[in-house]
Amino acid sequence: MTSESDRLVEAALFISGKPISVKEIQAVQALDQRTIRSALRRLQERYDSDDQAIEIVKIGAKYSMQIKDEYRPKVAPLASPKLSKDVLKIASLIGYYQPILRSKLSDIAGSKTYECVRQLVEKGLIRAHPKNRSFELTTTKKFIEYFSIDARSRAEVKAWFKDRLKS
């Protein structure tokens, strides 16, 4: 049986379209943090069953409603891409090699690097700090949330990418 608080938390997760914290849910719902956390646990258990294509995951200190990995390739063509393949490639290279100089990244990935980096900076997914005659590129908290990476630091993001390359 689902309670009203479960439905409110579920609706908040669904509508946000990005990872959100208990405090963010509390800011828009008249629920205390304990109630929200309990609702999140119940929802995770409910969505964790094998007959669901959706799951609720904890990403750092936030929660997200997302498609389970095994269903993602089957429905991905229906999703409208928000970043081009070139931009995604550059984003993953930055995540893997960070901190990396834009000039070194350009040596690895080619001439499209500069435009892709500009787009990633505009979206707030990476930072570009001047260093020598180039820019040092690193990921941001928004990068971690956008790509649903279970990490809290740049080092953990880097480790996440390395782990994915092993599989």
Average pLDDT per 10 consecutive residues for the chain, totaling 167 residues: 86 91 93 95 89 90 91 80 85 94 93 93 93 94 86 88 79
- Predicted pLDDT at 22: 96
Compute CA 28 distance to the chain's CA centroid, rounded to the nearest angstrom. Answer: 22
- Predicted pLDDT at 40: 96
Which of 58, 64, 69 minimizes the C-alpha distance to 164? Answer: 69
Residues pairing with 67 in the sheet: 54
**Residue 129: HSE in the Cβ half-sphere, 13 Å Cα cutoff:** 8
* Token pair of 144 as six digits: 């971690």
- Predicted pLDDT at 65: 93
Query: How many of the other CB atoms lie within 10 Å of CB of 102?
Result: 19
Domains of the chain plus CATH, in order, are 4-73 (1.10.10.10), 85-166 (1.10.10.10)
